[in-house]
Structure 1
Amino acid sequence: MSEQKLRDTLKQLAAEGYFAVVVEMVRASDDRVLPPAEWETLCRCCSDVGLYIVVDEALTAVRCGAPFAHQRPEYKALSPSFVLFGKAIVACGLGVCWNGVHMNRLGYSDSGREEDVADILRSWDMKVSQALPAASLLNSWGVLILAQQEDWPQRASRVGAQLRRILRDMYPGIVINGLEALIYIARAKASTTNIIGAAAGKVVRWMPFLDQGMDDESQPLAAANAPQQTG
């Protein structure tokens, strides 16, 4: 829809009591990748209307070429208000983008004062936070440290590129969607390959392992067998 129509629609929703828009950078149901122009339009409209934007990154974290998909170069000019994360980072949670859409409504400004952030977080902790077991937090922390040290987002880009190339060589004409190492293939086509993934409507979602060596082109046998692995 046009930007004006979208703005009018969001105004009506806000008047009815809605306060946020939830977005998937890669839609899980049909593999649609959000065009950068639509992302920018949505951010502008939500900012004007006074709605938060929540990005669901449960599937797209790490494996889409950036720590979070919305941080890819084509999206990073504008930030969401909050980020939902889970599988890739082990512990589920809600991240805050302090420079995100409409965040000044929380009483936080661009001044960058740490006291402002601390006051807001303290208030939230008293109301809605649920403590996670220490073991889960340590496990999640370890995953983040390792992901940073080994640059997993860049490895995901290399793994995704290599596996897509292998699939096109093995199955000429195959249509591969998604982003980087988040791979979507038509369900009918996937049934004729060695790929076993999660079915989502007419597509199959394949989340290959990002193990070290999966991006090594000098190991063709390991790479060729990779489509039999599932994540």
Structure 2
Amino acid sequence: MGSLPAKPDAPLDHDFHSAWGSVYTNRSTVGDKDILPLWQQYAVDKGAVDRKYHSILSEYTELFRKVFGGYYPISMHAHATDSLMPTTIASLILNTAATSPLVLDSETLRPKANEKPEETGMRVRDFALNFLGWTETHVLSPTFVVADNIYGAGYGPLAHASKEWETSAIASGPKPIVVNMREADEKTLNAQFAEAKAKGAIAVVFDMVSTEDGLVFTPEKFGLVKACCARNRLLLIVDETMTAMRCGAPFAFQRPEYAREGVEYQPDLVIFGKGIGVSGIAISFDGVTTKGLTYTKEEDIRQTIRYWRALVSRPIRLPILLEALSILRASVDENWPEQSERIGEAIRDVLGELDPSTKEPGAVQGLGAVIAIDRNIALQYRIMCAIRRRSPWARLLPKLSSTSADREGLMRQVFGQESKEQRQLLSQEAEKCDAIPLWCFVCGIESTEKDWCRKCYLSSCNNELNTNTKLSQLIEYSRLRIQPTTANAVKNLRYERDGTSLDV
């Protein structure tokens, strides 16, 4: 797409945490030959680039639509959790209905020059509520239906669904309605959705790969949920914060096995994350609910997007917009979805060779380059993972670079004993700039332990509760023979694997 000649990928390392999966590449995207001049101009004449803001945003929107198969990035947010606020979703879909061709092309519904604005607003609002099957409850106290295995969110209403007490303790807002979507049949699911709709639910939210345990939402269940959403006039929202680009398709539900299920229905909204430059909400105008709004002309689509974005000062800051555009262009040049399949296959092969137990059914979960394994195994091979303190699963979220698909490189620089050399190079680099490994290798949050392991390039957090939890958990691991040399620090544990002692 016009990028500069590709530079070699950075060497592999054992950071499969990747900032909770939000870092897709270690390669700088600033070098894109079409974007670089804008960065250079921004450094000396910010105003000149500011004057191009709307054209750059339009270019980004169009490229996003092409990359993600007809989904438009309508609403941008600082964090994916901000996108998953029921009130935000309710306002967004009300705006989309109120500015749809059903209203603006209607002699009876569209604004009239000789009427009061209040009269126009009330008429259009009544139409939107009727179209969506909403009452005042859906407007004043909207909530979601969520799958029982969804992570939830770090704060806000969906934090009620979290299994981590630290998260659920700070939850606020209406509780989501939790439904077992994995096991429910059509009759049960339809009844649960209907009951939820009557209580104020406006949408069904789930992820294609569970952030809890890596289980994959089956194509058959995906088709069933879409049909039940359509029947109950519930928006269908797929959370692709972790899975976009990583699962063999731009969005995981666009894989062939999912695309074949219920082709007449598509998710209305998709939540995307910082991995593609910015978090936000993408909308399809061919969705379960949005299809009925009859957005068939591109000018109508662009108009409603402009109306929504006009409600904020700027949808996205210019430097972030430039980076997001560069990342999208890199994803096309390097074909990240296809790359993710090769990466996932290579990592699963390496795990199978090192630990035959991972070949057992259910031992490795996930899709493509979203991989969930027993946390014991992740600890055994000293991998920094996206992991939760109380979960038995660890998520491997590698960078989407060609080196991550190199089986020999994975053995030499990540999983094997020969990775010691690479780890020590990382340690030397960190010490020069007074840095430490980014993530606690046991619970996944920011590491803070200054006396970290220089041999394995690993650190932990200093939270006393976490330390006690880690010790009790680590000592129980059946795959490792652990001899704690002190009672108060993970760094002093002595591991023995396959007859070889390794000091951490």
TM value normalised by structure 1: 0.90
Whether the 8 Å CA contact 1:70–1:79 is kept in 2: the answer is no
Whether the 8 Å CA contact 1:63–1:152 is kept in 2: the answer is yes
Return the alpha-carbon distance in structure 1 between the equivalents of residues 200 and 312 of structure 2: 20
RMSD: 2.1
> How do 1:133-152 and structure 2 match up within 5 A?
133-152=317-336
User: Is the counterpart of residue 156 in structure 1 residue 340 in structure 2?
Assistant: yes
Whether the 8 Å CA contact 1:59–1:87 is kept in 2: the answer is no
Return the alpha-carbon distance in structure 1 between the equivalents of residues 381 and 313 of structure 2: 44
Aligned residue among 44, 67, 73 for 2:227: 44
**Which residue of 1 is the match for residue 279 of structure 2?**
92
**What are the Cα deviations for residues 141-181 of structure 1, in whole angstroms up to 9, with x where unaligned?**
11111111111111111011011101110111122111111
Secondary structure of the 1:191 match is helix
**What are the Cα deviations for residues 177-220 of structure 1, in whole angstroms up to 9, with x where unaligned?**
11111110112332222322021311001101222333245xx2
Moved more, 167-176 or 44-53: 167-176
CA gap 1:134/1:85 in 2 versus in 1, 3 angstroms = same
Secondary structure of the 2:373 match is strand
Whether the 8 Å CA contact 1:43–1:101 is kept in 2: the answer is yes
Q: CA deviation at 1:14?
A: 0.9
Q: CA deviation at 1:8?
A: 1.2
Return the alpha-carbon distance in structure 2 between the equivalents of residues 140 and 197 of structure 1: 25
Aligned residue among 282, 290, 313 for 1:103: 290
**Which residue of 2 is the match for residue 11 of structure 1?**
194
Moved more, 51-60 or 114-123: 114-123
Aligned residue among 170, 178, 188 for 2:354: 170
Secondary structure of the 1:169 match is helix
Q: If you compute each CA radius of gyration, which structure gives the higher value, 1 or 2?
A: 2
**What are the Cα deviations for residues 112-152 of structure 1, in whole angstroms up to 9, with x where unaligned?**
21233133223322346852111101101111111111111
> What is the aligned-residue identity percentage?
32
Q: Supply the AA of the counterpart residue of 2:332.
A: Q
Return the alpha-carbon distance in structure 1 between the equivalents of residues 236 and 313 of structure 2: 20
Return the alpha-carbon distance in structure 2 between the equivalents of residues 41 and 128 of structure 1: 37
Return the alpha-carbon distance in structure 1 between the equivalents of residues 340 and 291 of structure 2: 34
Query: Matched residue pairs, number?
Result: 225
Unaligned runs of 5+ in 1: none
**Which residue of 1 is the match for residue 162 of structure 2?**
none
User: Is the counterpart of residue 180 in structure 1 residue 363 in structure 2?
Assistant: no
**Which residue of 2 is the match for residue 53 of structure 1?**
236
User: Is the counterpart of residue 131 in structure 1 residue 315 in structure 2?
Assistant: yes
**What are the Cα deviations for residues 39-59 of structure 1, in whole angstroms up to 9, with x where unaligned?**
000000101110001111110
Whether the 8 Å CA contact 2:309–2:315 is kept in 1: the answer is no
Secondary structure of the 1:214 match is helix
Whether the 8 Å CA contact 2:219–2:257 is kept in 1: the answer is yes
Return the alpha-carbon distance in structure 2 between the equivalents of residues 38 and 56 of structure 1: 16
User: Is the counterpart of residue 80 in structure 1 residue 277 in structure 2?
Assistant: no
Whether the 8 Å CA contact 1:57–1:85 is kept in 2: the answer is yes
Return the alpha-carbon distance in structure 1 between the equivalents of residues 239 and 331 of structure 2: 20
Structure 1 stretches of at least 4 aligned residues deviating more than 6 Å after TM superposition:
228-231
Moved more, 127-136 or 84-93: 127-136
Aligned residue among 68, 72, 85 for 2:251: 68
Q: Supply the AA of the counterpart residue of 1:118.
A: R
TM value normalised by structure 2: 0.42
CA gap 1:204/1:216 in 2 versus in 1, 3 angstroms = closer
Q: Supply the AA of the counterpart residue of 1:99.
A: D
User: Is the counterpart of residue 194 in structure 1 residue 382 in structure 2?
Assistant: yes
Return the alpha-carbon distance in structure 2 between the equivalents of residues 44 and 127 of structure 1: 33
